[in-house]
Chain A
Amino acid sequence: MANQDTSETIFASEVEINGTIKTSGPVTFNGKLDGDLDSGGDVTIGKSARIKGHLNVESVSVAGEVAGNISAKERVEMLASAKVTGDVRAKRLKVEEGVSFVGRSDVNPSGAPVSSAASPSSASSAASAMPPIPGEPGGAGRK
């Protein structure tokens, strides 16, 4: 994780922002954001947070609502109260029971190719290879 010497930026629950937040350090966001959040550090989306936009982060812990894609270099954690509508891409994922998540997920911690994993006796090609997730930097969903 990148961030450790940088001080944390905290957005209180009364804060409403229209636009993009860019920071290199850790962020705790509890307010309303209509726009993207790009951070080189760890991001905490509080329970009261409502975000309409994409998250591009190192790692993120979500307890509030995110309507947009989440792309993390390392880890995405969805706490029980999280509501995520959008695609999730990360190296590691943790999901607590109780989350609401509608979207596409692309998380394979082992990093091994998964297309040839069928048991010999089982039918293969149950699921075809997933197209790249829109919203990944350079992907269709990013501005």
Chain B
Amino acid sequence: MASRSKAKVVDTFATLHATRLHARAPRYSTRTDTPEEKSESKPSGAPERKPGIQAGRTVMPTTYEIVCYSCGYGFVIRGRAKTTQCPKCGARLGLTDETITGAYTEELITAGRVHLKPTAILEGGKITANDVVLEGTVKSGFVHAYKTLELAKRAKIPEDLFEARSLRIGPGAKFAFNKKLNLRNLELQGELHADVTADGMVSIHAGGFFKGTLEAEHLSVEEGGGLRGDISVRSAATETETVKPESGDATPGETPPKDKTPTSLQDAPPVIRPL
């Protein structure tokens, strides 16, 4: 070890001191082991210990993005809690995750996640949550996802019975919507036929397919993903004077550039804007 001194009292200073020493440990190490010797001395199967990482994990609690279902304001909390208070409107927000497995007719509001399993049937109930995963059927009622609605392979939902900020189509799922979708992010592992405007990121993974008109701020297509239709992607960063096509057979869109930064569904920004 780099230091033999021990902190008697665990206060902020001691924590920071320990973190710093831990991060520096390899640099100040007096051991002259060769890499081979080091690997031999490690128990087999033990994960490689990276300096600083372990100590960092203990002092930095996980952050969670929350969108207030009362006013739509987005904010971040540290650590897991059952409830929290919206810093903007003061509403008390439930943060529990719920799972529905059967027929459901009531109203459910949470700033957590609601998972409707394949056997779940929403009949007249209203689900309001930050994230909704739908594997079951929505017959009537409404689903409102303040953050992301994920539609799985066997999910069934009429297009007028949901609203979502971001949409994820799961592997093997196929959906077609007549209504125009205004989203932040769209992630396709399955197939979507629709007209979509996304002010964030559109990701088409291998096996994903999009058909329709797409106006997006950012687009990424993995090899194996499909894209068919009129596309208009004008990344703000690359928006400069572009050479014009000589013939009129290309189909440039009319979308003005927007001042947005890229986000992905997995790694959303630490502070999300009000919806």
Main secondary structure of the interface of A (DSSP, over half): loop
Q: Which of B211, B218, B245, B253 contacts A52 (CB 8 A)?
A: B245
Question: In the complex, are the beta carbons of B226 and A108 less than 8 A apart?
Answer: yes
Residue B158, interface by CB 8 Å: yes
Q: Which of B157, B229, B244 contacts A104 (CB 8 A)?
A: B229
Complexed CA–CA distance, A85 and B175 (Å):
29
Given contacts A67-B242, A126-B194, contact A117 B176 (CB under 8 A): yes
Name the A residues within 8 Å of B218 (CB-CB).
97-98
In this complex, the interface size class of chain A, counting residues with CB under 8 Å from chain B, is 35 or more
Given contacts A52-B243, A114-B193, contact A122 B237 (CB under 8 A): no
CB distance from B192 to the nearest CB of A (A): 9
Question: In the complex, are the beta carbons of A93 and B238 less than 8 A apart?
Answer: no
Name the B residues within 8 Å of A100 (CB-CB).
233-235, 238-239, 242
Name the B residues within 8 Å of A120 (CB-CB).
156
Contact with A along B200-211 (1 / 0, CB 8 A): 010000000101
Name the B residues within 8 Å of A85 (CB-CB).
242-245, 250, 252
The closest CB in chain B to the CB of A87 belongs to B250
Interface residues of B in 230-266 (CB under 8 A from A): 230-235, 237-239, 242-247, 249-253, 262
Interface residues of B in 191-231 (CB under 8 A from A): 191, 193-195, 201, 209, 211-213, 218-231
Question: In the complex, are the beta carbons of A118 and B246 less than 8 A apart?
Answer: no
Name the A residues within 8 Å of B228 (CB-CB).
105-108, 114, 130
Question: In the complex, are the beta carbons of B252 and A93 less than 8 A apart?
Answer: no
Q: Which of A75, A109, A126 contacts B225 (CB 8 A)?
A: A109
CB distance from A17 to the nearest CB of B (A): 14
Question: In the complex, are the beta carbons of B234 and A102 less than 8 A apart?
Answer: yes
Residue A69, interface by CB 8 Å: yes
Complexed CA–CA distance, A31 and B56 (Å):
49
Complexed CA–CA distance, A86 and B225 (Å):
19
Question: In the complex, are the beta carbons of B175 and A122 less than 8 A apart?
Answer: yes
Question: In the complex, are the beta carbons of A101 and B219 less than 8 A apart?
Answer: yes
Residue B23, interface by CB 8 Å: no
Question: In the complex, are the beta carbons of B176 and A121 less than 8 A apart?
Answer: no
Question: In the complex, are the beta carbons of A118 and B193 less than 8 A apart?
Answer: yes
Residue B137, interface by CB 8 Å: yes
Interface residues of B in 111-159 (CB under 8 A from A): 137, 155-159
Residue A103, interface by CB 8 Å: yes
Give the interface of B toward A (CB within 8 A).
137, 155-159, 173-179, 191, 193-195, 201, 209, 211-213, 218-235, 237-239, 242-247, 249-253, 262
Q: A105-B229, A126-B177 are in contact. List 7 more A-B contacts (CB 8 A).
A: A67-B246, A69-B249, A85-B243, A101-B232, A123-B159, A126-B193, A141-B249
